[in-house]
Structure 1
Amino acid sequence: MARTTTPQRTTNPYRSPNSEDQPLYARVATLLLGELRDGTIPPGERLPGERHLAAHFEVSRETVRQALEVLRRGGLVATDRRGSHATLPGRPVEAPESLTFPVGAQSAEPCAVDRATVTWEAPPPEHARALCLAPQRPTLVHRYRSVTPDGRSLRTAVTSFSAVALAEVTELARYRDRADGATPAQLRRAYDWMRKAGLTLHHRDSITQVGDASCVRVTRRVHDQYARPLEITDLVVNAEQDALVYEFTLPAAG
């Protein structure tokens, strides 16, 4: 006689989020998984923090923790000391063309020589306000100068880094011990270091004329994906002698 078996009912935590028989954390895990799969959060990228996810899904932080644990058990999310990140298989995130720090500071004049140093000091007041630093609180300040062999200045740039940048980016923090204002300090890879630390960089540049318009000032503010300020740069260009050129490369879709 043929044996009949009753199929075992299994619960799939990734079923439709509208399934009323699912606990709330499983439904949140389903929604988050959907965002991971559709590329809203690319493979390898850090997930937003628990507070942000709780607000995004309109649930408690404890529910978010439980949802993340479901995804961790499924091997879809990994967590380390810097947070959680997606581990779904897929095309790796393409690294954009590296931006040389400070952007736009390098002169087009072939004979120009660049000099750069760092100090540990209180930044200019407007920098302190932009970086949410208390007045007179010291931070890492980078000074850049592009000059011709005869000493004529073509471009100068002063950058102040925030406490967030120094806490998150190990390579920047190491400069505190050698920030004597004399030792050469080229930070050309600063933006690569920030990206390697899991920070998404948002640049905002404003350009104004200086004095009699022989110079222009570019004020650059950079913040991360959590709207935390990372750095502010004031770049002054001799507009009569040099051109201000920004070059961007956007990868093709697909």
Structure 2
Amino acid sequence: MVRTTPHDRPLTEAQPLYWRIATRLLGELRDGTIPPGERLPAERQLALHFGVSRETVRQALEVLRHSGLVTTDRRGSHATLSGPPVETPSTLTFPVGARSTAPGAVDRATVAWETPPPEHAEALGLAPHRPTLVHRYESAGADGHGRRTAVTSFSAVALAEVAELARCRDRADGTGSAELRRAYDWMRRAGLTLHHHDAITRLPGAPSVRVTRRVHDQYARPLEITDLVMDAQQDALVYEFTLPAAG
């Protein structure tokens, strides 16, 4: 028996309303209006967006789930379509210090579920030896210069509030590549206002600086801490800024 999906059949008024909504929603998933792999808006928001009832939205989501295009867990529904996430040029890239890879350069990131560095655990309010999601990033120019290494630990709050980060735990074995460049976008989409505190300090006896970023939300709850070490010549500098939640 051949299974059909909303993409297989043209949109007509003769089709049930829920099927037409499923078709429109699938179109937004495919064109990147809702980026691949990210959490879908709540049923209430989708109902307002499409001008239908929540029950109609629920039926439309069931059509897409049956077709394997959407999955749902306790944190909500998210698209399973393949493809790169849609980039927003104005957003802040994660982690601090990350950059585009030039030809021949090394750029690698991994995630692991492990005990974070003690100073990270203290900053995030984690009990000693309690594991969390730890992200590692390294980059270097083609000639080996300009090396950057960053270690980020996420708090229990970040993992509870941001579904995209929570899902990383299943593949956080410390070996596979990890793409978390839009982590700050995910936090903002989850309704979190991001307050960044970056301290940049020159390391004594070395042509390098350390950047320590601490991020908390509008309730002063810690979300993540990153330590970046990079080749540079720079005096100490501290600055702060805030990114409002996506509205």
TM-score over 0.5 for the alignment? yes
How far is 1:97 from its partner? 1.9
Counterpart check, 1:196 vs 2:189: yes
Counterpart check, 1:212 vs 2:215: no
Partner residue of 2:4? none
CA contact (8 A) 2:96 2:226 kept: no
1:146 to 115, 136, 139: 139
How far is 1:149 from its partner? 3.5
2:174 to 177, 181, 199: 181
Partner residue of 2:225? 232
How far is 1:105 from its partner? 2.5
Amino acid at match of 1:188: R
Q: 1 CA distance for matches of 2:162 and 2:151?
A: 19
How far is 1:104 from its partner? 2.2
Q: 2 CA distance for matches of 1:112 and 1:229?
A: 33
CA contact (8 A) 1:216 1:237 kept: yes
CA contact (8 A) 2:107 2:139 kept: yes
1:136 to 129, 134, 139: 129
Partner residue of 1:105? 98
Q: What is the total number of aligned residue pairs between the two structures?
A: 153
Q: 2 CA distance for matches of 1:109 and 1:116?
A: 16
CA contact (8 A) 2:150 2:229 kept: yes
How far is 1:112 from its partner? 2.7
CA contact (8 A) 1:107 1:155 kept: no
Residues 96 and 204 of structure 1: CA distance in aligned 2, closer, same or farther (over 3 Å): farther
CA contact (8 A) 2:210 2:229 kept: yes
CA contact (8 A) 1:105 1:156 kept: no
Q: 1 CA distance for matches of 2:223 and 2:148?
A: 22
Q: 1 CA distance for matches of 2:212 and 2:139?
A: 17
The structure with more radius of gyration: 1
CA contact (8 A) 1:107 1:146 kept: no
Q: 1 CA distance for matches of 2:212 and 2:104?
A: 26
Counterpart check, 1:121 vs 2:114: yes
Residues 151 and 213 of structure 1: CA distance in aligned 2, closer, same or farther (over 3 Å): closer
Deviation string 1:227-249 (CA, Å, 9 cap, x unpaired) is: 00000000111116xxx9x9x9x
Counterpart check, 1:165 vs 2:154: no
Q: Percent identity?
A: 76
CA contact (8 A) 2:138 2:148 kept: yes
Partner residue of 2:148? 155
How far is 1:212 from its partner? 1.2
